[in-house]
């Protein structure tokens, strides 16, 4: 063995035996730089995030995850998520190159989300709104049964509270791994929007980002009272190649872009990302102050239109520094039940005050109090309905 070979073997052995240090917050696969999809300019990721993922060279809007978009649109400390724990299953036991459950697990570990949409309530420039944001990083933002259920619940909650609704769309369409179960979400969401818009006469704004295609475009993305879009966003139903082969003709270069759709009357406004929050705020404010606003009829069982008092309650609740935990609320609820059963304080004002306090601190998992004329029906999702007479 030559000296050079011996030195090379020793070097390789040293590298193999060297300790490997890793930090949980460090991902070696993610670099510090990225490239613009439009002009190819090299961009520093830290500065790109500070600029809301808008290219410094050409102004192209790169994809933005749902958490970043929520942080940008919602006032700090006012975001209250809904249905965070709802997770998809595999009823069809679908398998292609991988099992559907494996793909779900990988996407959940990579993004930290349960599915491709985040829903909740918060304040936008001090205005209470219901917001749903889709995340393209989770399986292409595809719409499955959980996505449809979460968006439907959000719409129903917005209708019940009289809140304006904003849905930010970024999706490749219906999720093929769930088959017809994903396609039926189009009808379910559209039915909930019909009640929100046509019955309750509440505002719904759709914000289309790149890409918005497939079943999402064919359903709630195009049902907004106002439809906003980001510049140069890809918006369409079928793919460009499929349409060209079907029509046997060449399509324009800007086909299925937001500018093309605006020119043909399918969009109301193209808003740059830096002005989106201001545009939404001014639009909702103008809608609220409209002198000839049509008052709709809220379906039976709903709370009713958003009044000044209710709006202030929602604003104060959103600005609360710390929301009550589910465990503490459960303990207070059990104490309230014990006091009812022992027939103590049945005519005291402090009991009613306590019940109202619990009702004002309700979250997406519990509804503490339903007042009737002489009966207080206290119920929760984990107990059977129980009523107590005065």
89 is in an annotated binding site: no
Which residue blocks in 112-170 are alpha helix, DSSP H?
145-161
3-state secondary structure of 73: helix
Distance CA 162, CA 156 (A): 10
- Which backbone phi and psi does 255 adopt, to 5 degrees? -60, 140
295 is in an annotated binding site: no
Residue 74, CA distances (Å) to 80, 146, 166, 247, 351 in order: 10, 23, 11, 44, 36
The set of long-range contacts for 238-242, using a CB threshold of 8 Å and a minimum separation of 24, is 239/213
Distance CA 259, CA 265 (A): 10
3-state secondary structure of 281: helix
Residue 156, CA distances (Å) to 18, 72, 299, 302 in order: 58, 24, 11, 9
Residue 53, CA distances (Å) to 47, 71, 232 in order: 8, 13, 14
Q: Which residues contact 285 (CB under 8 A, 6 or more apart)?
A: 127
36 is in an annotated binding site: yes
Instruction: Classify strands 369-371 and 375-378 as parallel, antiparallel or unpaired.
Output: antiparallel
55 is in an annotated binding site: yes
Give binding residues as ranges.
36, 39, 55, 58
Could you tell me which residues are annotated as the binding site for Zn(2+)? 36, 39, 55, 58
């Amino acid at each position: 063995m030559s000296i050079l070979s011996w030195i090379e073997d020793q070097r390789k052995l040293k590298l193999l035996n060297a300790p490997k240090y890793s930090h949980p917050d460090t991902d070696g696969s993610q670099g510090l730089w990225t490239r613009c999809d439009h002009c190819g300019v090299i961009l520093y990721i830290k500065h790109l995030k500070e600029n809301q993922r808008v290219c410094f060279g050409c102004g192209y809007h790169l994809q933005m995850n749902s958490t970043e978009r929520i942080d940008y649109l919602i006032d700090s400390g006012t975001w209250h998520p809904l249905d965070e724990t709802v997770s998809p299953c595999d009823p069809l036991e679908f398998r292609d190159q991988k099992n559907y459950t494996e793909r779900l697990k990988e996407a959940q570990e990579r993004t930290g989300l349960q599915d491709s949409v985040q829903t909740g309530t918060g304040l936008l420039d001090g205005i209470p709104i219901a917001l749903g944001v889709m995340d393209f990083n989770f399986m292409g933002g595809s719409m499955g049964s959980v996505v449809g259920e979460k968006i439907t619940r959000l719409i129903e909650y917005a209708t019940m509270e009289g809140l304006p609704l904003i849905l930010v769309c970024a999706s490749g369409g219906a999720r093929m791994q769930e088959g017809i179960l994903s396609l039926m979400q189009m009808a379910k969401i559209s039915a909930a929007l019909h009640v929100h818009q046509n019955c309750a006469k509440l505002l719904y704004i759709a914000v289309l980002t790149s890409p918005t295609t497939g079943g999402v475009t064919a359903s709630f993305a195009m049902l907004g009272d106002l439809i906003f879009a980001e510049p140069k966003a890809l918006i369409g139903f079928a793919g460009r190649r499929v349409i060209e082969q079907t029509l046997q003709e060449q399509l324009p270069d800007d086909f299925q872009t937001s500018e093309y759709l605006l020119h043909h009357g399918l969009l109301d406004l193209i808003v740059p990302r830096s002005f989106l929050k201001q545009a939404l705020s001014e639009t909702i404010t103008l809608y609220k102050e409209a002198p000839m606003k049509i008052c709709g009829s809220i379906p039976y069982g709903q709370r009713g239109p958003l009044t000044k008092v209710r709006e202030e309650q929602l604003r104060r609740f959103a600005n609360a520094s710390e929301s009550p935990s589910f465990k503490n609320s459960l303990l207070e609820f059990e104490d309230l039940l014990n006091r009812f059963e022992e027939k103590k304080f049945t005519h005291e004002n402090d009991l009613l005050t306590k019940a109202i306090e619990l009702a004002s601190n309700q979250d997406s998992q519990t509804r503490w109090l339903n007042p009737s004329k002489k009966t207080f029906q206290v119920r929760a999702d984990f107990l059977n309905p129980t009523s107590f007479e005065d």
